[in-house]
Amino acid sequence: MNYMVGFISLNVYALIVCLLLMTVFFSKKRQKQVEDQSYAHFLIFNALATASGIVLGILVTPSFNTSEFILEIANKIYLICLMCWSCILNYYTMYISFLNKRKDRKKVLSLYKKIILVAIFILVILPVQIEATDSGAQATGASLVFFYTFLAAGFLSDFISILTDFKNITSKKYLPIYLLLVLGLFSVSVQLVFPQLNYLVNPCTVLITLVMYFTIENPDIKIIEQLNIAKDQAEKANRAKSDFLSNMSHEIRTPLNAVVGFSEAILEENDIEQIKSDAKDIIMASNNLLEIVNGILDISKIEADKMEIVETEYDLVENLNGLAKLMIPRIGEKPIELRTKFAPDIPSILYGDGGKIKQIVMNILTNAVKYTERGLINLEVNCVNSGSECKLVISVEDTGRGIKPEKIDSIFNKFERLEEDRNTTLEGTGLGLAITKRLVEMMGGKIVVQSKYGAGSKFTVYLKQEIRAVHTNVKREITYDKLVDISNRKVLVVDDNKINLKVATRMLTPYHLNIEECESGLECIDKIKEGRSYDLILLDDMMPKMTGTEALKELEKIPDFHTPVVVLTANAIEGMKEKYLKEGFKDYLAKPIDKLELERILYTYLAYKEKKEEIFEPLPEDLYDINKPLHQDTN
Ligand code: ADP
């Protein structure tokens, strides 16, 4: 009897500790992580198990004369609470050791919940007998055997879970589990010697819960850890931003300085040849500036995880052929031969982000042209097709200046430009390859560089794409013919900004077109409604009152309106082209206008159209009346 009083008192102390722990834990600000939620449940079931253990201890004392049925119910409630406590510990151990890395953990949790429900059911239906002796209560029966077997299985599961995370076996997070094993062994051994002393279990579970609180599940410690992580991240981001700003300020000032300097020189200059040469330098500096702006957009999108893969069907060979053609003006006067070689088994239509592949190859080809003085640049594309998968191997080899072996790794860093002293005459930002590498990696591919300093470099890109069509008789030539005369075709340029209108009309001048301008979508619609017809409309999108897209929708409602409308926009970020094409625009021209792109658009939409100019005045309608004399005498 004295034992009973002693053990009940021990359990009451354990319950008090547990309740204090709960008060502290639940009064603190917690995070909604799985560990915290598990620990909260863990505390609740610990308190319930301890409280029900105390109630059982009291009921079982002979002086209470409690009926067997009530004792059985009280015992089962106690066992269920303990079993739930043990299950939560199992789940907690599984979570911290391997489940947190798995995506299907919700499924595992729901399966585990089902197992617990079944176990509780079995525990409830199996019999248990409890009898009070002078030295304490002693329970026996199938229900108890099942309970201990379940607990042993739980221990084993904890152990296996920890083994799956063997390299962290000494981690502090497993301390409560080790303690549980030690205390578990201790209470089982005591129980074997003194079968009636099963009141040690709850003080042990409370001790484990207490240790957990002070080692790993203390909300204060957790919040401090999270705050430290957030602080480190914020400091890192801030440093990166400062570096970025100081780099950018330098990069942008350099071409701007050229634009301002050469423009002022032009104002003072009378020699037309010198003016032309200065204008060329202005174009070069502006292109460099544009490259920087695009580069910043791309890199900041990539770093903010906002760059998306836009998958469409595309013709790789046609795309890369077009790119190679764009390189010819860049090569200019340099004695460089540009060769392209496309394997015949490259599928005619691939599915993937063709735009990004173009950007990747464009960056590598541009570098090859930039850093090669003479010799050869070879663009080669091979592929390995299996089923619907096409493994592309795209390589660009040049006979340029090459890269020193110790510098090869750094060329993919942001703003990294090698041999700045040799680069002074070459435009560049040091962003191209950083963007290229990240784009390749985003698409699940890789990029490899081989280079011999002074002899040349080879950049190889490996990418996987989906095959959509394999036939090879697809027309793979550019679709416009510059021999067709497009002069006098009527083009309407719509832009709310007067400078933009001026630039567009200036750039259209060499084509001797019949150009009209207007400053809003409404004005454009009025012109069409008035019956004016055009062969092409270049329509700005971002305009006040009515956007270009809205204007297009209105234009499409006008009967017999078939003029191709091309969007002319500074909205040049990734995916915009596809968006505008979906809206119904025939094509897309980004601002600042690229001369070659403009030419492509003009010849694509103006060159194939039959000239429908009427040479003769239309004859009077009544001429078709056969009863009328051919010549009417007016006299
Ligand atoms: P940049 O705008 O300077 O060209 P990139 O990121 O594209 O920036 O390239 C980083 C550096 O790598 C270049 O400044 C150049 O020194 C080196 N590099 C890149 N491609 C080549 C190449 N084909 N041959 C030699 N050097 C190259």
CA distances 523 to 496, 498, 514, Å, are 11, 15, 18
**pLDDT (average), residues 522-538:** 93
Distance (Å, whole) CA 426 – CA 334: 14
Q: What are phi and psi of 287, to 5 degrees?
A: -65, -40
Q: Is 411 in the pocket of ligand 1 (CB under 6 A)?
A: yes
Distance (Å, whole) CA 320 – CA 358: 7
Give the pLDDT of residue 478: 41
Q: Is 295 in the pocket of ligand 1 (CB under 6 A)?
A: no
How many CA atoms lie less than 13 Å away from 301 in the CB half-sphere?
16
Fold of 242-303: Helix Hairpins (1.10.287)
pLDDT band at 471 (very low <50, low <70, confident <90, very high): low
Q: Which of 298, 372, 417 to mutate to test the pocket of ligand 1 (most atoms within 8 A of CB)?
A: 417
Q: Is 251 in the pocket of ligand 1 (CB under 6 A)?
A: no
Q: Is 96 in the pocket of ligand 1 (CB under 6 A)?
A: no
Question: How remote is the CA of residue 304 from the centroid of ligand 1, in Å?
Answer: 24
pLDDT at 285 exceeding the cut of 90: no
Tokens read off for 533: 């017809």
CA distances 550 to 498, 500, 553, 557, 558, Å, are 21, 20, 5, 11, 13
What spatial distance separates the first Cα and last Cα of the chain, rounded to whole Å? 146
Which range among 145-154, 212-221, 542-551 shows the weakest confidence by mean pLDDT?
212-221
Residue 596 CB coordination number (10 Å): 13
**pLDDT (average), residues 388-408:** 92
Element (H, E) at 376: strand 375-386
2-217 in CATH: which number?
1.20.1070.10
DSSP-based three-state secondary structure for 391: strand
Q: Is 418 in the pocket of ligand 1 (CB under 6 A)?
A: yes
Q: Is 600 in the pocket of ligand 1 (CB under 6 A)?
A: no
Q: Is 398 in the pocket of ligand 1 (CB under 6 A)?
A: yes
Which ligand 1 atom is nearest residue 435's CA?
6
Which residue lies with its CA nearest to atom 23 of ligand 1? 368
**If you classify domain 490-613 with CATH, what class do you get?**
alpha beta
pLDDT band at 63 (very low <50, low <70, confident <90, very high): confident
Which residues does 426 contact at the CB level (< 8 Å), separation at least 6? 370, 371
Most confident of 159-173, 204-218, 544-558, 559-573: 544-558
Q: Is 430 in the pocket of ligand 1 (CB under 6 A)?
A: yes
Within 269-349, residue ranges assigned H as helices are 272-303, 316-331
Q: Which of 371, 377, 421, 449 to mutate to test the pocket of ligand 1 (most atoms within 8 A of CB)?
A: 371
Distance (Å, whole) CA 81 – CA 116: 11
**pLDDT (average), residues 62-79:** 86
Tokens read off for 150: 């379940």
Which residues does 563 contact at the CB level (< 8 Å), separation at least 6? 528, 533, 534, 535, 536, 537, 555
Residue 390 CB coordination number (10 Å): 23
Whether cis (ω within 30° of 0) applies to the bond prior to 592 is: yes
156-208 tens-digit pLDDT: 888 888 888 888 888 877 887 888 778 877 877 776 677 665 677 888 888 88
DSSP-based three-state secondary structure for 425: coil
Question: How remote is the CA of residue 367 from the centroid of ligand 1, in Å?
Answer: 6
DSSP-based three-state secondary structure for 4: helix
Give the pLDDT of residue 12: 92
Which ligand 1 atom is nearest residue 396's CA?
23
Give the pLDDT of residue 429: 65
DSSP-based three-state secondary structure for 403: coil
Question: How remote is the CA of residue 449 from the centroid of ligand 1, in Å?
Answer: 11
Question: How remote is the CA of residue 450 from the centroid of ligand 1, in Å?
Answer: 13
Q: What is the DSSP string of 513-557?
A: -EEEEESSHHHHHHHHHTT---SEEEEES--SSS-HHHHHHHHHH
Q: Is 371 in the pocket of ligand 1 (CB under 6 A)?
A: yes
Which ligand 1 atom is nearest residue 419's CA?
16
Question: How remote is the CA of residue 589 from the centroid of ligand 1, in Å?
Answer: 28
pLDDT at 476 exceeding the cut of 50: no
Tokens read off for 86: 């043990």
Percent share of the chain, pLDDT over 70: 87
pLDDT band at 470 (very low <50, low <70, confident <90, very high): confident
Give the pLDDT of residue 131: 72
Percent share of the chain, pLDDT over 90: 31
Q: Which amino acid is at 262?
A: F
Give the pLDDT of residue 316: 92
Q: Is 396 in the pocket of ligand 1 (CB under 6 A)?
A: no
> Is 401:371 a contact under the CB 8 Å cutoff?
yes
Exposed e or buried b for every residue in 396-405, given b needs 16+ CB within 10 A?
A: bbbbbbbbee
pTM of the full structure: 0.48
Q: Is 318 in the pocket of ligand 1 (CB under 6 A)?
A: no
Which residues does 154 contact at the CB level (< 8 Å), separation at least 6? 86, 87, 89, 90
Which residues does 23 contact at the CB level (< 8 Å), separation at least 6? none
Question: How remote is the CA of residue 432 from the centroid of ligand 1, in Å?
Answer: 8
490-511 tens-digit pLDDT: 999 999 988 889 888 889 988 8
Question: How remote is the CA of residue 408 from the centroid of ligand 1, in Å?
Answer: 10
Structural domain boundaries in the chain: 2-217, 242-303, 312-475, 490-613
Q: Which of 254, 433, 438 to mutate to test the pocket of ligand 1 (most atoms within 8 A of CB)?
A: 433
Which ligand 1 atom is nearest residue 363's CA?
7
Which range among 187-201, 513-527, 538-552 shows the weakest confidence by mean pLDDT?
187-201
Q: What are phi and psi of 127, to 5 degrees?
A: -80, 155
DSSP 560: T
Which residue lies with its CA nearest to atom 19 of ligand 1? 367
CATH superfamily of domain region 312-475: Histidine kinase-like ATPase, C-terminal domain (3.30.565.10)
Q: Is 183 in the pocket of ligand 1 (CB under 6 A)?
A: no
Question: How remote is the CA of residue 492 from the centroid of ligand 1, in Å?
Answer: 41
Distance (Å, whole) CA 559 – CA 357: 40
225-236 tens-digit pLDDT: 888 999 998 887
Tokens read off for 137: 């209560």
Which residues does 33 contact at the CB level (< 8 Å), separation at least 6? 222
Q: What is the DSSP string of 334-373?
A: S-EEEEEEE-TTS-SEEEE-HHHHHHHHHHHHHHHHHT--
pLDDT at 51 exceeding the cut of 90: yes
CA distances 17 to 56, 57, 84, 206, 275, Å, are 19, 19, 20, 8, 89
Q: What is the DSSP string of 169-187?
A: TT-GGGHHHHHHHHHHHHH
CA distances 563 to 174, 488, 492, 588, 612, Å, are 72, 16, 10, 15, 14
Question: How remote is the CA of residue 146 from the centroid of ligand 1, in Å?
Answer: 71
Q: Is 352 in the pocket of ligand 1 (CB under 6 A)?
A: no
